[in-house]
Structure 1
């Protein structure tokens, strides 16, 4: 076939101006005899282009089009056939009865068919086949997996990975074939796609892509079996000496991408079982010396990301990355400097030996590499080098994209806290970049950096506020104007000359849109309500607010009227303006959604904010900073949101198939802060209310949910953890159980709890909710509930726990029990679980705890001194005390600044009602341990005594 340049240009222009209806009309050529391959191929390209462009084709038209295209199977033209396969895959999601084309595709999958036909037919068939029909083509797919031709084997393996999501039980049976493909040798590739030849001449393949896809499928199949994954890693590292699955001589991985996947699997094994860290860390050190740059970089990156890594492997990893900093390839330099940039946040001293090499990269032609080099040097350098680096950074800010400008702004923000004495330099730099062109996210990062600097360095607050006032004079982003106005309203009244900022704020009322004007009114109200405002300032604010009463927007008018009323009422000022607390927004959102989704909720009464926990502004800021750091980690490590399936690379498909949330091989996602705890408790409440036996307790609010406590070791046959939930009249013990034995299915799983002391008349067992069935690595939850017979008594008792169940033998591949097997009863001893005073305490932030402490007075105080010789430091001790008290630590309570002495304050509400404040004073001496004084004041003297007794 011949092509001309002018024909190519004409056809490209036609594609760019396609009309949906015209294409459907042209589809009649598919029914012509004889088939015209070139015209049909061009029309198929137009159809695919429409689908990729996002055009929607009605189901009836798509179905008719689909069956018209199937007639093209009669033509033997290879290029046309490939376009047919591609179009069928794309139309399968919008057409009906697509399963009718199965016979044609299965015919092309036969071993005697063309190589190109087979690979494409496998991909198309797996796209349209229903999981229930998969056993019918299982034989063909298993044969294709072990095919010696890489194009066919690779197509079968990738299709199997995609099928695994919907047909796990069937695909799990293909483990032996995947192992054979992984160990086999890729002999050849099929004919070139562009050659159009039907000959069977084989061309030697050097990509070894089959191993990469095979190891991905094997991990997807074995991911729930920790020992199998460990053996997979050991097998291809030459450490498999135990025999069994994949026993024999250790096979060799020839694919570098397969090596990269193996490194990631090793890291996941270490995250789930820290005891394997030394053994697998040795493997990572060996892989860092691999001949492939890709493998060496991945191994070094993996070591840098480990949490509790020793200095020796970390030093080796930094040395490997340092070597790549001098690589002639920009991709290698970029990968190395990005990893060092991430490591410098937690281990700056480990990265310092690379400073000379990184300084050479500041003038790198690749501005992305230069940006990371400077930001990394800022993290590892000293105060003397900051001036020089900042000047160099100013030189190329205009040459880099917004994505890297954000990274620079975040680096400067971190420096503000590290070197507060350089605040004038940082402010000058940040104010300068605000004047430059840039998008919203970049400007927001710079604004937040200035705000952070103003909060943490009092000496520069007024200068920072002046820069912010200048910024909003010519700000094109409404959200940023609102953010700055809010901050001016918070900090402006506390400055020496607040009138300076009032002028800038009122300018926004005159010149901006309604949203900004409303925010400006709120800021003015804060100036008028401030306790530091003198009468003349208040009068000025009143005059400005009265002018706003004539605003054309009703929101602005309403806020102005409210502000004028509020300024005359001290209680209203305290409640709405001076209050330093706010709602936990994630919990508030969840409870509002639940309230709106319940038709009977409005009949029971209006929404109650009493059930929504409150947090301090400082805690809210801490939560935002945590989210910001997590987002920056995602940017620096290259973790981004997956692209749509049609454009996603195969690596993403493998990750989706093997990353199932909540599975034992996936790292547990645990909340890192108080916001996560609040949200987790709201989730617990929803889950418990969905259980009929517990929902029958009535409308009792969930007082507290404690953190999970492991009752078994992570490597045991049955993994169990306990979570305690306290209601007004009941206590519920939640047991999360995981069976790790592939050859067993457990039924009627329940936990028997025996108190180690008499609880008659205090707690009475009322509900036991068993797990009906538990297959291997499928978590289940059992519940045991006790009624509090005496709600005025709060027992401290330990329970001996035993897991009881019926065991049935099963096929490990399917997880189904053998027919006729009635099983046998068995039990498994667990560690004891304790119920203490801290379980009845609701961890809640109480505003103005200092005033509450003084109001409660010594009459409601219990105080005790403890000698805690078992602790090796204050931080360990304060963490344990926090767990026992079950209260909310105030700012800095869990982060001692001194190793010798520390003070901490905790707040909470006993049973969600009785306000309680605890204060601790600690001193530490080596050899003697920690000496702690604990004082508790509460609205109920008995509660104070119970909390002090919780430590004893």
Structure 2
């Protein structure tokens, strides 16, 4: 044994990555050793390891390089060395997506797949399924079915996992293997049983009745695999989530029964499912008790799972988690700092105001030892505390400012800045201290995006503070010391002080004049632009272009400008037709670790590529507003159709998202026949040429709005017309013949006021805006609403008119709102609601430069 020992110095000398300085060209040249006879097993294995390392590090091979390496690798099939052969299979899998003519090794892999050497068979199945296309799969279908029910667990599991991957490209073929997979569910091997259940459940995912039968059958029989039982719990939870009737009670009982299972992963999966399904604290008691036991476990993984799930639960049911306070207190000193962080943040969310200071001191003792992602968890918990306990804003803001001065990445610093910004916007008492902390931070901020955002906040909130002049120094320092983008943002912020505070205007003009000499074009242009507007002294002009400026969506603005230059370069571009940027809303969760923040995109961006299928769509300009999809069929019908309404300045595009749920039918020449109301003009329709089973397709109808705004309110009758061809249920291929014509009735499509108005958030200066619009045409009337509760009535009116829900008052509710009409005309709405005679009476007034638009809002309610 002494020959295997290495002293400490030898270990230190031999450290590091042996593949750190690999060269792609050199390695590809080394593949010529694969042609040697006899094969040098160790040398070839080392070369294949280098190739796999490069590919997994993101190295890109050209098609020719990949093809040469692929065919050089296939020459190693002559070797009988087990390690080398398995490396060959791995390389074939990795290179097959880049190389050409890879199908040529199918026969060799098929031979290994059906051979007697079990060490080769599993790897050969994985490699074969990764290189074989859907047309060649039928040739190996018989072997795959045999492999699924093979006695060797490794072979069976490899075949099942390969079937799961193939279900994305050839679902109809994999569906024919369901009988063999059903048989494999009863396997004694835990992984085989788990993978088999995945294949069977995947083949039935679009058939609710079949899924119900599967879950019901397996829930009643003893299931040996803990992994398969976890998947079964998830399937049962999906059925409960989609069906809130009493019929789902057996599945809830099954999940609760799994809380008493001997496997810890099954117990946790059941508790996690109950936490996500239950709506009352009493129903959560069994799951919370299990998670409480996890918090006292000797295993760090179980403590982390229990603490993290309880942390998530605090958002909706803090009282249910409060019972675990003692166990969470014990976790504060846990050696695993991730567990301690989750415990403290959960206690912060559920504890009393008196315990905040004590918990903050405990966080401060170890916050420097945890990673950035868990520091973000702490910051988000403190952000919620700011809303929950506004009187604690001073100590909380000071703690956040201390974290802001520590080392950390952009995401961590952005989370702290978000918390302070939220504190400034929500709590008037914290505005001065919060802005002071942010001003101090941008003095040393190394992140341009964060500095620009803080400057934008200072420009918006600074003029409203008690001493606005104190912030101008911090802002102007950025003009002197920072990069171009930060200097440009500082110019915009300074201009807002001049626009909002007349006493500061002379000083602001001097600063802007200095900025006109800047080296950066953007800084100079902004300074000249703002100086020209401020010099006019026109309050309406200043408010429209400096104080209350709508921010267009940058992605859609670029697209609209490109389309305008390509189609109508001689006409003036209307900026008001471009949708504004939507503010991302924070998810309603208590504590969530998110390594990456998902990109926020608007619905208009999401559907812009799909709308390209409509001929001439670029001539209509940018989409003014895209509505949420509306179901036109029931959820369990043969054909599922949803309608998405895309509103343009003068046109309407109705997009019908269609799904065929019948596996024995192929729909062709699919269209939606519309009954168009008076005034509308149907210009064009785009049919869906083919709608196979379970693959979505789109039908588009392009219409022109009526000249009068009031005539745009209407209802479209809709019928789905198509040609049906029967398909072989085993192969999925259509039978011979032209098929027959058929139709399917759809729900009516309604175009109201909400689809044609893009709302704007209500700001503090709404009263002044309403008074400035006194000279505009006004329409008003009194209505009796069907609701009995004034709050419900106010919310319903806002949703019906498409304006943001902003209601104030108790006895008399006043709704204030506004937006932009699809033609570019602004509109303001004020409604007063009160309870009278057992019902709700509303007086509605609307102002707009276009009188017909103001009348439209009244007609929409009436």
- Tell me the TM-score normalised to structure 2 length: 0.88
Alpha-carbon RMSD across the aligned residues, in angstroms, is: 3.8
Matched residue, 1:570: 537
CA drift at 1:179: 1.5
Matched, 1:636 2:557: no
CA drift at 1:237: 1.3
Preserved contact between residue 342 and residue 637 of structure 1 (Cα < 8 Å): no
Matched residue, 2:578: 612
Matched, 1:164 2:167: yes
Matched residue, 1:391: 361
**Mapped partners of 1:739, 1:297: distance in 2:** 37
Preserved contact between residue 903 and residue 921 of structure 1 (Cα < 8 Å): yes
Matched residue, 2:633: 712
Corresponding residue to 1:233 among 215, 219, 229 = 215
Corresponding residue to 2:256 among 276, 285, 289 = 285
Alpha-carbon spacing, 1:866–1:509, altered in 2? closer, same or farther (3 Å) = closer
Matched, 1:213 2:195: yes
Matched, 1:877 2:793: yes
**Mapped partners of 1:837, 1:470: distance in 2:** 47
Q: Deviations over 1:561-613 (max 9, x none)?
A: 5554454233497157643232242xx41242354368733645464312113
Alpha-carbon spacing, 1:80–1:368, altered in 2? closer, same or farther (3 Å) = same
**Mapped partners of 2:429, 2:206: distance in 1:** 56
Alpha-carbon spacing, 1:302–1:749, altered in 2? closer, same or farther (3 Å) = same
Matched residue, 2:453: 483
Matched residue, 1:146: 149
CA drift at 1:700: 7.7
Matched residue, 1:102: 106
**Mapped partners of 1:897, 1:296: distance in 2:** 49
CA drift at 1:285: 2.3
Preserved contact between residue 578 and residue 624 of structure 2 (Cα < 8 Å): no
**Mapped partners of 1:468, 1:792: distance in 2:** 47
Matched residue, 1:429: 399
Partner SS, residue 314 of structure 2: helix
Matched, 1:889 2:804: yes
Matched residue, 1:531: 500
**Mapped partners of 1:169, 1:902: distance in 2:** 58
- Tell me the TM-score normalised to structure 1 length: 0.80
CA drift at 1:695: 5.5
CA drift at 1:725: 5.2
Matched residue, 1:582: 550
CA drift at 1:406: 1.0
**Mapped partners of 1:437, 1:845: distance in 2:** 36
In structure 2, the gaps of 5 or more residues are none
Q: Deviations over 1:101-151 (max 9, x none)?
A: 2222221111x4210111111112222223332222222222111112110
Corresponding residue to 2:314 among 331, 340, 344 = 344
Partner SS, residue 742 of structure 1: coil
Alpha-carbon spacing, 1:552–1:75, altered in 2? closer, same or farther (3 Å) = same
Partner SS, residue 736 of structure 2: coil
Partner SS, residue 715 of structure 1: coil
CA drift at 1:839: 5.3
Alpha-carbon spacing, 1:231–1:876, altered in 2? closer, same or farther (3 Å) = farther
Corresponding residue to 1:137 among 140, 144, 169 = 140
Matched residue, 1:691: 614
Matched, 1:777 2:694: yes
Corresponding residue to 1:126 among 129, 141, 150 = 129
Partner SS, residue 99 of structure 2: coil
Matched residue, 2:466: 496
Preserved contact between residue 728 and residue 791 of structure 1 (Cα < 8 Å): no
Preserved contact between residue 499 and residue 534 of structure 2 (Cα < 8 Å): no
Alpha-carbon spacing, 1:718–1:863, altered in 2? closer, same or farther (3 Å) = same
Matched residue, 1:508: 478
Matched residue, 1:87: 91
Preserved contact between residue 555 and residue 605 of structure 2 (Cα < 8 Å): no
Partner SS, residue 817 of structure 2: strand
Matched residue, 1:648: none
Q: Deviations over 1:670-701 (max 9, x none)?
A: x9xxx97xx33465576456334x859x7487
Q: Deviations over 1:788-845 (max 9, x none)?
A: 676476165555554454544433344433334734x554444444455555555566
**Mapped partners of 2:343, 2:562: distance in 1:** 51
**Mapped partners of 2:226, 2:800: distance in 1:** 50
Alpha-carbon spacing, 1:470–1:765, altered in 2? closer, same or farther (3 Å) = closer
CA drift at 1:339: 1.4
Matched residue, 1:298: 269
CA drift at 1:846: 8.8
CA drift at 1:492: 2.7
CA drift at 1:16: 4.0
Alpha-carbon spacing, 1:295–1:123, altered in 2? closer, same or farther (3 Å) = same
Q: Which of structures 1 and 2 has the larger relative contact order (alpha carbons within 8 angstroms, sep 6+)?
A: 1
Matched residue, 1:243: none
Matched residue, 2:662: 741
Matched, 1:917 2:832: no
Alpha-carbon spacing, 1:680–1:859, altered in 2? closer, same or farther (3 Å) = closer
Alpha-carbon spacing, 1:268–1:68, altered in 2? closer, same or farther (3 Å) = same
Preserved contact between residue 889 and residue 904 of structure 1 (Cα < 8 Å): no
Matched residue, 1:928: 838
Alpha-carbon spacing, 1:11–1:544, altered in 2? closer, same or farther (3 Å) = closer
Matched residue, 2:389: 419
Matched, 1:117 2:120: yes
**Mapped partners of 2:166, 2:514: distance in 1:** 66
Alpha-carbon spacing, 1:163–1:705, altered in 2? closer, same or farther (3 Å) = closer
**Mapped partners of 1:712, 1:26: distance in 2:** 62
Alpha-carbon spacing, 1:752–1:488, altered in 2? closer, same or farther (3 Å) = closer
Preserved contact between residue 120 and residue 155 of structure 1 (Cα < 8 Å): yes
Matched, 1:327 2:297: yes
CA drift at 1:292: 1.8
Matched, 1:907 2:818: yes
**Mapped partners of 1:451, 1:338: distance in 2:** 27
Preserved contact between residue 577 and residue 824 of structure 2 (Cα < 8 Å): no
Matched residue, 1:818: 735
Alpha-carbon spacing, 1:334–1:716, altered in 2? closer, same or farther (3 Å) = same
**Mapped partners of 1:546, 1:914: distance in 2:** 35
Preserved contact between residue 841 and residue 912 of structure 1 (Cα < 8 Å): no
Partner SS, residue 932 of structure 1: strand
**Mapped partners of 2:851, 2:511: distance in 1:** 50
Partner SS, residue 55 of structure 2: helix
**Mapped partners of 1:610, 1:374: distance in 2:** 48
Preserved contact between residue 129 and residue 166 of structure 2 (Cα < 8 Å): yes
Corresponding residue to 1:68 among 52, 62, 72 = 72
CA drift at 1:77: 1.8
CA drift at 1:344: 1.0
CA drift at 1:367: 0.8
Corresponding residue to 1:464 among 434, 450, 455 = 434
Alpha-carbon spacing, 1:115–1:352, altered in 2? closer, same or farther (3 Å) = same
CA drift at 1:421: 0.5
Q: Deviations over 1:348-400 (max 9, x none)?
A: 22322222221221111111111111111111112122121112111111121
CA drift at 1:708: 3.6
Alpha-carbon spacing, 1:446–1:91, altered in 2? closer, same or farther (3 Å) = same
Preserved contact between residue 595 and residue 601 of structure 1 (Cα < 8 Å): no
CA drift at 1:160: 1.9
**Mapped partners of 1:837, 1:467: distance in 2:** 44
Q: Deviations over 1:128-178 (max 9, x none)?
A: 223332222222222111112110011111122222222333223222222
Preserved contact between residue 762 and residue 793 of structure 1 (Cα < 8 Å): no
Partner SS, residue 176 of structure 1: helix
CA drift at 1:181: 1.6
In structure 1, the gaps of 5 or more residues are 187-207, 239-249, 643-670
Partner SS, residue 223 of structure 1: coil
